[in-house]
Structure 1
Amino acid sequence: MSAKTEIQYAQQTAANEEMKGSSMLIRALAEENVDVIFGYPGGAILPTYDEIYKTGIRHILSRHEQGAIHAAEGYARVAGKPGVCVVTSGPGATNVVTGIADAMIDSLPLVVISGQVATSVIGTDAFQEADMVGITMPVTKHNYQVRSVEDLPRVIKEAFHIATTGRPGPVLIDLPKDVSVATGIFNYENELDLPGYHPTVHPNRLQIKKLQDAVTKAEKPVILAGAGVLHAQGAEELTTFAETQGIPVASTLLGLGAFPGEHEQFLGMAGMHGTYAANMALHEADLLISVGARFDDRVTGNLEHFAPTATIAHIDVDPAEIGKNIETHIPVVGDAREALKSLVEMDGERGDFTAWKNTLHEWKTKYPLWYNEDDETIKPQRLMEEVYEATNGEAIVTTDVGQHQMWAAQYYHFNKPNRWVTSGGLGTMGFGFPSAIGAQFAEPDTPVVAVLGDAGFQMTAQELSILQELNLPVKIILVNNASLGMVRQWQQLFYEERYSNSLFPIQPDFVKMAEAYNIKGSRIDNLEEVRGALDEALAHDGPALIDFRVTPDENVYPMIAPGKGHHEMEGVTP
């Protein structure tokens, strides 16, 4: 949006003039500093799209609503501000439900505007009618159906506030077509009045003191950093606290980047495919400080064996998460950054963790991540190492879900926050590519690499059209093992190698697919060509796709099998 357009909006807003609901919506988005919208038009939302046409606000047309919502997620993850998605009623709206659920479980701030049939026919099974309030209630932080145009400015203002405060999450605004064309007074100056919504930002000082005292008394403390650190923009405070107190740090999958990946105190990712050092640190710790992590089952393994000797301290802005899965001894409700700032300012007495650090260093040295080297075929682990080196660790990396996701998490070291974009809690295939598009809009000058499986890519491959249209310089790295890799791995390990519908004997020609969209494409089959292909793609000023044919039967290790604890990891050594 041009500066002129923004000034015009400000002038018109101040005048409290009468306008249509569709105009109110676009002007409210300007008030919220929205610079890009992802969406797909249709009948019920046409008044809004007409306003988009007249005002020139930047809109990215996805080729499927799923692409729009995942792009909005990628934007939100990297920009740290709400992603905005606009779709029509009925199938347009239901096509974004998966993305809304994905954002809900991963705590991403979204504002989703869905068109709706006119209020006079709601409930009559009208053409392209769907009960989006009922459908999305379980997977939104809050949702609205606007029945009066006079309510629209208040609803939009509340939606952005709710999406971004406390624990972030998606908010849906269901907008009937007749409300879009009705007129009313636009007033965006009113104070927010949400008597039942007051997230706790600043933690209780006494609980912070209890936690600091526990650190002083501990002999084997460890910090588990989750995505809440990133949402709170608390990476700097986490690093300061950990360094000052000398506490080692492990990370959840979504917390990668909250603490520098190459820092000597970093133990790696914890959980099902985490490092030996990180998982054993959780198992042996006498103090576990969880910051912005929700103790999901992929992190904890068997709860009976989780951190059996540790005092559990849990910092979280959402009080519902504290004690939900793991008994918590020191609960700290509040914003992660504010809690960490309080701990740094308290500057408590340091404990002596020398013996603990020596043990951890021994584990890291003796049991590193490993794979069997091959001088000819492309090992996916080696490919991720090459991607890391080729990008100097500076790229934004997005992924789909599965083996390639785990290899990227293991072998790409995230030294800065908001460089890792992946679907965690819902595990949504098709997420990786469109989220890369959103990430590129969030940071146009930063390289964006979409690490994708051959299966997940095909779920949203139509979004190649956006790269073609806008010459968006996203680089697509296909980790092509001709299978549903993680499904195949589980079938091998737990289903006596019955590969039911997980192998792809026939695939499309991905290079030709890219070229059909006028995108640079190449196929690499041997190791010696990997680095050259990566360097060439990264130097190209437009989009590029590389189809890397990796070892098809490679598995992700180490691994905590279902029902096992951290101390029962498999594949720790070759």
Structure 2
Amino acid sequence: MASEKIVWYKVLDNKKELPEGRVKTVTAAHKGICLTHFEGKFSALDNKCPHQGGPLGEGSIENGMLRCPWHGWDFHPCTGLPPGGYDDGVETFEVKEEDDAIFIGLPEEDQHETTVSDIMAETMVNWGVTKVFGMVGHSNLGFADAMRRQEEKGRLNFYGIRHEGAAAFAASAYGKLTGKPAACFSIAGPGATNMFTGMWDAKVDRAPLLALTGQVATQVVGTGNFQEVDLVQAFGSVAEFNHRVQSDSKHAELMSLAVKHAILKRDVSHLTFPDEVQERNTKPEEKPQTPEKRITSLEIAPPKQAAEDAIALLKKAKRPLIVMGHGARNHKKAVVQFAESLNAAVVTTFKGKGLIPDNHPLGGGVLGRSGTPIASWFMNEADLLVAFGASFSNHTGITSKKPIIQVDFDPLALSKFHQVEVAVWGEISRTLEIFENELKGNINTFDQTQEIAERWDIWKKEKAKRLLETSDTGVSSIAVFEAMNQLTPENAVMCVDVGNNAYSFGRYFESKEHDFLMSGYLGSIGFALPASIGAWTAVGASRPVVAVAGDGGLCQYLAEITTLVKYEMPVKLIVLNNHELGKISKEQRAGEFDVWKTSLSNPNFSEFAQSCGAWGHRVEKEKDLTKAMEALFNQKGPAVLEVITDVNLI
């Protein structure tokens, strides 16, 4: 029989790197080796102790024996044999010296055999999930290796983040912007539980998301093993599709169903991969799947009676108001075209900010607590509200005292909080086609264009007055957003945090061709910076990405600035630093409580950014704001502008 082919790998450039009596871990091909230098001889042993897999290369030579660092078992440094003639020694490999270098000879590696993880990773990519945010660790290495192979083929991008919570927020933001799922990825236990908040953010804002978690071996689930959490049970409340991958699962089908649920339900899917399953070889008949003929069109027409009732109300309306929520994001052109046929004002929820530009003749700005007096004025004057993809939350400000037509793809969202006159279940663009066909020649609405322009003029004069309010404590938020109105690229994706900065943003920043991403229903602080990572992976160099955060929110995921730097993401981050959780202080006062525990001790954010390798600059005076913001937007790479602001000038 032919002998095995031996391949030689250089593991030390200079043998002086390993002194006499010492050991170290080296890697040859994919194999971990314990390299020893004992009694003048270099030897190579399998790095795994045969008992618990302890890394022998991290051990030490004591009394002439190599001691395992995990449980103290001894092996001879050259032969790998234990004392006393036991049969649990470790394998040894050939070593040779050439000049001063050390080489190890190993049998030629076998070709890679397809694993469960390979089948599932390829199926995931085939279904369009090509962006993954996460952290590689001990309980997800098999699936990580499968994703590595997909990335090497140019079919997937993996972004290593600094906290799994940021991974989930990035995936959520990607889903909100594109309507397609990205994946977040973690180890078992704490890595997985760190993703929980971002998963909920995606769920309540109806963004598709795929969560992938490693898991300890199936046999120890439920025993209190290290980092053992029953993740199927833990994620039962947040994941619409929630399964443990098993050895006998239909692996490609399981991944297909997970992605399909995320897309069609606009919800969270979760798969957890026990350690022993990830590297298991597949059966020859198992092949990756594709979405071909597996997913239906969503162009659903509304029930006939609902459409007729809605059309009857529209024919009678003189001053209809169009309300666009986040659910109308993919239909904004159709909704605006419909509004133009009615000459009706269009306002948005905060989550829907920017779906119609503020400089559009029919644009009325944002409704509710983060909104403008323009939107609230038209709400008051309307004789009919036509809401598309809006959720009617308390923050939105849609009055229930007006006749309402509500159009939504989700029947559970219709009349969710109170009865509406006409609830229309259907895909928005398809529904609008029916409305427009039936309304031809039957529109009797008042042209609101001139009135909208007048209300904007009044609001802009009010903003100009507020700009005169100054302070020695810091710059006003009004001044910050007015500078952004002048200098922010008109097609930027804007990622917004939670807090007073968000309220000011909604009220003062004037949208053009922007898209806006925020933690809407969940209202989770810390969203903006991780969201900008997800946004950049969606748009790349085609559009600028801007994140706006308060000091409280930014500190939640501050280390992700290093992620921007590592992947050369040219995100522009503006942080409003008032050394306070200003929104909470405001709520304490409103509730007639004492202001308590809301002050913050912050780093110099601009210097922190510089230490991470990004551009950073700090502004303390309003006179320096415009020049600094111009410099921010002129940077080619990631950049942070810190503005010291007055908490009372919002």
Fold conserved (TM > 0.5)? yes
Note if 1:549 corresponds to 2:641: no
Match of 1:325 among 409, 417, 442: 417
Structure 2: which amino acid aligns with 1:441? Answer: T
Match of 2:134 among 30, 39, 60: 39
Match of 1:110 among 209, 217, 225: 209
Are the aligned partners of 2:182 and 2:210 in contact in 1 as well (CA < 8 Å)? yes
Q: Which structure shows the higher helix fraction? A: 1
Structure 2: how far apart are the matches of 1:355 and 1:29?
A: 50
Match of 2:356 among 243, 259, 263: 259
Are the aligned partners of 1:251 and 1:269 in contact in 2 as well (CA < 8 Å)? yes
Q: CA deviation at 1:18?
A: 8.0
Q: CA deviation at 1:452?
A: 0.7
Structure 2: which amino acid aligns with 1:421? Answer: L
Structure 1: how far apart are the matches of 2:141 and 2:394?
A: 43
Instruction: Spell out, residue by residue over 1:348-399, the C-alpha distance to the aligned partner (whole angstroms, 9 max, x if none).
Output: 3454333866666655444566324246752212211211321242211112
Which residue number corresponds to residue 311 of structure 1?
A: 403
- Residues 190 and 487 of structure 1, relative CA distance in 2, 3 Å threshold: closer
- Residues 388 and 35 of structure 1, relative CA distance in 2, 3 Å threshold: farther
Structure 1: how far apart are the matches of 2:407 and 2:566?
A: 44
Are the aligned partners of 2:126 and 2:289 in contact in 1 as well (CA < 8 Å)? no
Are the aligned partners of 2:366 and 2:507 in contact in 1 as well (CA < 8 Å)? yes
| 1:237 counterpart SS class | helix
Alignment of 1:126-275 (within 5 A): 126-166=225-265, 168-184=266-282, 185-189=285-289, 201-230=300-329, 233-275=330-372
Note if 1:30 corresponds to 2:125: yes
- Residues 488 and 63 of structure 1, relative CA distance in 2, 3 Å threshold: same
Note if 1:428 corresponds to 2:524: yes
Structure 2: how far apart are the matches of 1:162 and 1:261?
A: 35
Q: CA deviation at 1:243?
A: 0.4
Q: CA deviation at 1:549?
A: 0.8
Q: CA deviation at 1:63?
A: 0.6
Structure 1: which amino acid aligns with 2:483? Answer: E
Q: CA deviation at 1:470?
A: 2.1
Instruction: Spell out, residue by residue over 1:482-510, the C-alpha distance to the aligned partner (whole angstroms, 9 max, x if none).
Output: 111211222233326x2211122x32121
Which residue number corresponds to residue 482 of structure 2?
A: 385
Q: CA deviation at 1:88?
A: 1.1
Match of 1:100 among 180, 199, 206: 199
Q: CA deviation at 1:235?
A: 0.9
Q: CA deviation at 1:222?
A: 1.0
Alignment of 1:513-524 (within 5 A): 513-524=608-619
| 1:354 counterpart SS class | coil
Which residue number corresponds to residue 106 of structure 2?
A: none
- Residues 312 and 378 of structure 1, relative CA distance in 2, 3 Å threshold: same
Q: CA deviation at 1:210?
A: 2.2
Note if 1:340 corresponds to 2:432: yes
Structure 2: how far apart are the matches of 1:295 and 1:553?
A: 29
Instruction: Spell out, residue by residue over 1:228-287, the C-alpha distance to the aligned partner (whole angstroms, 9 max, x if none).
Output: 111xx1011011101012121110111112222221212111112322232243344321
Structure 2: how far apart are the matches of 1:27 and 1:311?
A: 50
Superposed CA RMSD in Å reads: 2.6
Aligned length: 527
| 2:396 counterpart SS class | helix
Q: CA deviation at 1:425?
A: 0.6
Instruction: Spell out, residue by residue over 1:536-556, the C-alpha distance to the aligned partner (whole angstroms, 9 max, x if none).
Output: 11111111111101122224x
Match of 1:66 among 145, 165, 170: 165
Structure 1: which amino acid aligns with 2:615? Answer: K
- Residues 144 and 356 of structure 1, relative CA distance in 2, 3 Å threshold: same
Q: Which structure shows the higher strand fraction? A: 2
Note if 1:482 corresponds to 2:579: yes
- Residues 262 and 182 of structure 1, relative CA distance in 2, 3 Å threshold: same
Higher alpha-carbon deviation: 80-89 or 356-365: 356-365
Q: Please list every run of 5 or more consecutive structure 2 residues that lacks an aligned counterpart in the other structure.
A: 1-111
Are the aligned partners of 1:237 and 1:344 in contact in 2 as well (CA < 8 Å)? no
Are the aligned partners of 1:386 and 1:531 in contact in 2 as well (CA < 8 Å)? yes
Structure 1: which amino acid aligns with 2:409? Answer: V
Higher alpha-carbon deviation: 408-417 or 390-399: 408-417
Alignment of 1:382-531 (within 5 A): 382-416=479-513, 419-445=515-541, 446-495=543-592, 498-504=594-600, 506-531=601-626
Higher alpha-carbon deviation: 315-324 or 404-413: 404-413
Q: Please list every run of 5 or more consecutive structure 1 residues that lacks an aligned counterpart in the other structure.
A: 1-16, 556-574
Q: CA deviation at 1:139?
A: 2.0
Structure 2: how far apart are the matches of 1:188 and 1:345?
A: 44
Higher Cα Rg: structure 1 or 2?
2
| 1:478 counterpart SS class | strand
Instruction: Spell out, residue by residue over 1:433-463, the C-alpha distance to the aligned partner (whole angstroms, 9 max, x if none).
Output: 0110111111112111111101110110011
Which TM-score applies when normalising by structure 1?
0.86
Which residue number corresponds to residue 10 of structure 2?
A: none
**Which of structures 1 and 2 has the larger relative contact order (alpha carbons within 8 angstroms, sep 6+)?**
1
Are the aligned partners of 2:496 and 2:549 in contact in 1 as well (CA < 8 Å)? yes
Q: CA deviation at 1:191?
A: 8.1
Are the aligned partners of 1:472 and 1:543 in contact in 2 as well (CA < 8 Å)? yes
Structure 1: how far apart are the matches of 2:635 and 2:459?
A: 38
